[in-house]
Amino acid sequence: MHHIIIWRNFPEGPDDTGVIISYNTQSPNIAPGTNIVVGNNIGLVINPINWKRDETLATASESLGSYMPVNNTQDYEQVLNFADARIDLAQGVLICSSVNDSAIYQSYGGMLGIYHGFDFPFYYFNLRENAENRTNKFLEK
């Protein structure tokens, strides 16, 4: 017998528990409908810096830092003031406008302007802090 689990809870902010955090990061230069990672799907998105679901820009200076590879090695380091974040509700994606498309593509490859592989690294320290916060909220219940 197969069971299908449907998650119906999506976070409204930084403190909800039992929820799924979801976003897909891309450059503002990607035309609507051309991000092959999401296709024509419009997803629910939460901003991993300010934990809002509206289109409020969270600047790179508001971020706790990115965790980026160092010179194409296996080493990583915290990089401050690197990735900003703003939800595009119409596309259902997270827009990062503070990163240079060409530089990321030349350094790390991938698809030009599609930052899916950097969903965690760009917002690593905010995600880490929020995971601790949500765990503490869960344990308080």
Q: Is 70 exposed, middle or buried (0-12, 13-18, 19+ CB in 10 A)?
A: exposed
Write down the pTM of the prediction. Answer: 0.88
* Residue 127 pLDDT > 50: yes
Distance of alpha carbon 111 from alpha carbon 127, whole angstroms = 24
pLDDT score, position 104: 84
Residue 8 banded pLDDT, cuts 50, 70, 90: low
* Residue 6 pLDDT > 80: no
Q: Is 111 exposed, middle or buried (0-12, 13-18, 19+ CB in 10 A)?
A: middle
Distance of alpha carbon 42 from alpha carbon 53, whole angstroms = 14
* Residue 1 pLDDT > 70: no
